[in-house]
Structure 1
Amino acid sequence: MGDEAPVPATDPAVYDEYQAKWSTLPEDEQGWLARAREVAKVLAQDAVVRDQENKSPVAEVALLKHSGLLKTLGPKKYGGGEQPWNVGYKVIREVAKADGSIGMLLGYHLLWSRTADIVGTGEQRDRLDQLIITNNYFVGGAVNPRDNDLQISADGDNIVFNGAKHFNTGGVISDLTVLEGVLEGTSDHIFAIVHTRQPGIQFAHNWHNIGLRLTESGSVKIENVHASWTDALGWDAVERKPLPSVLQIHWGSLLLPAIQLVFSNFYLGIAIGALEYASKYTTSNTRAWPFGGDVKQSPTEEFYILERYGNFFAHLRAAEALADRAGDNITALFARYGNDHAKLTAEERGEVSEWVASVKVVTIDIGLRVTSGVFEVTGSRATSLKVGLDRFWRDLRTHTLHDPVAYKNRELGRYVLLGEIPQPTWYT
């Protein structure tokens, strides 16, 4: 690894001033949302240039660290914000309005940093909270279900991960990485969180996609990466077996609905950001059409422009209300059961999963319509690379292919017609 050419990266020094500016954490929901908007305002200043330069987002992660947003959900006893998930979702949305890549990175971090809440023991959860929050670590994850599972072997007091993943969001610029695989000779899955900077984690630096260009979501090879049995989340380190509480409920419990709603919230943020960005362009640069027989002096007098903006705005408001309702429902389940998800019933999980599926269907439908439709109300000059309006559609189109939304529609159809709740899988 020492012979690798350096990867072009943004310079974290450009955001040094914000470390002192944001030296204390917000106190309440409104404070956290205000902080997220401040971060978005900073990112918006050069979002177009950074997207086109496509450098590893070292500086942007430093900005998230300075802002305290990585600590939004962490416990106060270690210096976290101890906000509920419904606030975390809104924070993700605010950041994604300015920069979809950084909103996505923040969303994945918040999910992976809380993994032990769902699949870990109380001791593991507390230990990881202290590690992550006190060090202000950024967490990435090599957990792509479409690839073969990482293989896990036992080696004395350690477990050893080997394998590869085509996608590993945020790994290159992470401090810690979530690994997941199957223990050899069994069908049992193990999650563990390890330090990223070690020889056995080898990044290919091959994320060259049309959208979400600053997420470092390329492939990674995992070679003889060791973790202690005490770090096997939800496992008895002495007996080398999953704890009864883990066996009583599928590993997907609330982890998968929680991350699916992370997706929808940065989708929604991207779409709202596109509308806000386009509206500024329309009022300052778009010209009225002079050949329609009903000549207007300003684009804001054009009927078709007013109609499109009004329709987009209404649908985005509806999607936002739906996303907030689903976030409240997930938050209520976390509050009701604390960290004892073994008591969560299949019906409760199924119901919240269908709220989350509904959000995903709606945000993808309206998000793609808005991010492509804004060109109709901004005009041909808005296709200039200098304007950068295309990044919103590229970002949304890239991640909305993560898992086919058609299956969410089918899932909802079976729920409505047959009363079926979805079985926990890697995607439901």
Structure 2
Amino acid sequence: MTITDAVTTGLGDRWREGARPQTTDEWLARAQEVADILAVDAVERDRANQTPHAEVQLLKDSGLVTLLGPRAHGGAGETWDTAYRVIRTVARGDGSIGQVLGYHYLWAWAARLVGTEEQIAAVEELYTSNALVFGGAVNPRDSDLVIREDGDDLVFSGRKSFSTGGQISDLTVLEGVLEGSDTHIFAIVPTAQDGIVFADDWDSLGQRLTESGSVEIRDVRVPWAAAAGFVDRVFRPLTYNTLNVPTIQLVFANFYLGIAQGALETASAYTRTRTRPWPYGGDDKQHATDEWYLLEGYGELASTLWADEALLDAVGGEISAVLHAPREELTPRRRGEIAVRVAAGKLRVVDDGLTVATKVYELTGARASASSVGLDIFWRNLRTHSLHDPIAYKKREVGTFVLKNEVPEPTWYT
């Protein structure tokens, strides 16, 4: 079943009318259903490079967009360790849509990261009750949006060269600096308004369906009361506020792992059905699945990804525990220890994932390089997003912790 089939034949209706997942395992099974649908025509959709409206509708129909939302408003009430595994599962079917979902989870949690209790309650009711999808115009490498005061309003203006979610989002997270100060302010606004103008210029090697192009913010007005975390126009900082970066970095690592797992699954299916044994090695086999070098190769790649999965699951449990704990309890030291563990997981899966996405060609054979097979999508997707920030700095953070027992200071990338 393709995505078009799933949307037009009422699969969403069947999901809504049927038994709703109630346990973590059932939500993971729902994620696998979505991944299976995405995988059917992932290559064709990647080639077409169209705005993924149907894919996002699939995420909404499945209930996955409200996985972290409160049960009181129709959400699943699941925790971040489940969300990470859902992201990974969806990415096995389509890395782009795994990224879209992961970024949505991060921005849906933005109110909890920096907002007041009243803002958290309002945002979570709004997005959960209506199954709204978040995007974010927050790219630290660009100049900050400029915010000017106009009475009881804040007015955001500027440009961001990346804005994942773009035209497929219902809500957009804005971040800027108040004019004449060094005060950073986050706000959540409706995406569909004249002041948010997407350039539709995302043209990258991979992750092509993430709607990550540039955006112009033209005098977008936000009431001062909607400035996240501000009370009487004053922000009260907590260490918890800085968890946005390790949280999203682990989102990255999980959809990277999902992409690598997808590559291995696709390659192994090809080898079982289409790869021919090598007839010139002096140890002729009847079937490719009996070739010793293929058995060794798949064994090595699978064991590597199993180890990466174990590490990411462990780190996901650690960060999930603090994300769901009272915000005031998080210390700078604990935050830093988690950031180091996230860095270790990310650097491991980037190196291992790129190896897998390359080595599968050696295990499937020359004919698997045909464009129609589509093995290239995995390497292109992983290579593209793994350049988000230099992996060398992740290695340095881990090394500094090991040798000096020092944790990294919070930055926009750590």
Choose the corresponding residue for 1:309, options 287, 290, 298.
298
The alpha carbon displacement at 1:32 in A equals 0.5
5 Å matches for 1:339-378? 340=327, 342-378=328-364
| Partner residue in 2 for 1:101 | 96
Amino acid at match of 2:245: L
Quote the offset at 1:132 in angstroms: 0.4
Query: What's 2:283 paired with?
Result: 294
Matched, 1:241 2:238: no
- 1:220 and 1:11 map into 2 onto residues whose CA distance is 28
Q: Is the 8 A contact 1:15 1:59 kept in 2?
A: no
Note the alpha carbon deviations across 1:286-320, whole angstroms, 9 max, x for none: 11112222222111111111111000000100000
Distance 1:304 1:269, change over 3 A: same
After superposition, the C-alpha distances for 1:351-377 in whole angstroms (9 at most, x for unaligned) are 111111111011101100001110000
Assess if the C-alpha contact under 8 Å between 1:111 and 1:258 holds in 2: yes
Q: Aligned match of 2:268 in 276, 279, 283?
A: 279
Equivalent residue, structure 2, for 1:202: 197
Alpha-carbon spacing, 1:186–1:256, altered in 2? closer, same or farther (3 Å):
same
Specify the alignment match of 2:151 in structure 1: 156
Matches within 5 A, 1:218-229: 218-229=213-224
1:33 alignment partner in structure 2: 28
Aligned residues of 2:260 and 2:378 also touching (Cα < 8 A): yes
- Which residue of 1 is the match for residue 12 of structure 2? 19
Determine the structure 2 residue equivalent to 1:258. Answer: 247
Find the residue that maps to 1:140 and give its secondary structure: strand
Amino acid at match of 1:241: V
After superposition, the Cα gap between the structure-2 partners of 1:240 and 1:335, relative to the gap in structure 1 and judged at 3 Å, is: closer
Shift of 1:229: 1.0
Separation of aligned partners in 2, 1:421 and 1:266? 25
From 393, 399, 402, the counterpart of 2:388: 402
Displacement of 1:284 after TM fit?
A: 0.5
1:113-136 per-residue CA deviation (whole Å, 9 max, x = no partner) reads 110111001100000011101111
Distance of 1:203 and 1:13 partners within structure 2: 28
CA distance in 1, matches of 2:125, 2:404: 45
Alignment of structure 1 residues 57-136 onto 2, 5 Å:
57-136=52-131
Does the 8 Å CA contact 1:13/1:59 hold for their aligned counterparts? no
Q: Which amino acid aligns with 1:80?
A: G
For 1:1-55, what per-residue CA distance to the aligned partner results, in whole angstroms no more than 9, with x for missing partners?
Answer: xxxxxxxxx9698445122121153101001000000001111111111111111
TM-score by length of 2: 0.97
Write the distance in 2 (CA, Å) between the matches of 1:17 and 1:278: 32
Aligned length: 410
RMSD: 1.3
How much identity, in percent, do the aligned residues show?
Answer: 53
**Structure 1 range deviating more: 291-300 or 200-209:** 291-300
SS of alignment partner, residue 22 of structure 1:
helix
- The change in CA–CA distance for 1:271 and 1:13 in structure 2 (over 3 A counts) is closer
For the structure 1 residues 427 and 12, does the alpha-carbon distance in structure 2 shift closer, same or farther, using more than 3 Å as the test? farther
TM-score (norm 1): 0.94
Query: The residue matched to 1:336 in structure 2 has which SS?
Result: coil
Matches of 1:184 and 1:313 in 2, distance apart?
52
1:179 aligns with 2:168: no
After superposition, give the CA deviation of every residue in 1:154-213 in whole Å (9 maximum; x if it has no partner). 111111111101100011111110000111111111110100011111111011111011
Question: Mean alpha-carbon deviation: is it higher for 87-96 or for 282-291?
Answer: 282-291
Per-residue Cα deviation, 1:213-263 (whole angstroms, up to 9, x for no partner): 110101111110111111110012xx3221x3x2x43742x1111111000
Q: Secondary structure at the match of 2:28?
A: helix
Q: 3-state DSSP class of the match of 1:159?
A: strand
Q: Is 2:92–2:260's contact at 8 Å kept on the other side of the alignment? A: yes
Of residues 322, 333, 348, the one that matches 1:333 is 322
1:389 alignment counterpart: 375
Distance 1:367 1:407 in 2: 18
Q: Which amino acid is 1:388 matched to?
A: G
Distance 1:250 1:184, change over 3 A: farther
- Separation of aligned partners in 2, 1:335 and 1:241: 25
Report the alpha carbon displacement of residue 334 of structure 1 after superposing the two structures with TM: 2.3
Cα distance change on mapping 1:150 and 1:25 into 2, 3 Å: farther
Matched residues in 2 for 1:408 and 1:30: separation?
32
User: Could you tell me whether the CA contact under 8 Å between 1:12 and 1:58 is conserved in 2?
Assistant: no
Counterpart AA for 1:261: L
Q: Deviation per CA, 1:83-104, whole angstroms, max 9, x where unpaired?
A: 0100000000110001000001
1:169 to 155, 159, 164: 164
**Is contact 1:15-1:62 (8 Å) kept?**
no
Q: Unpaired runs of 5+ in structure 2?
A: none
- Name the SS of the counterpart of 1:187 in structure 2: coil
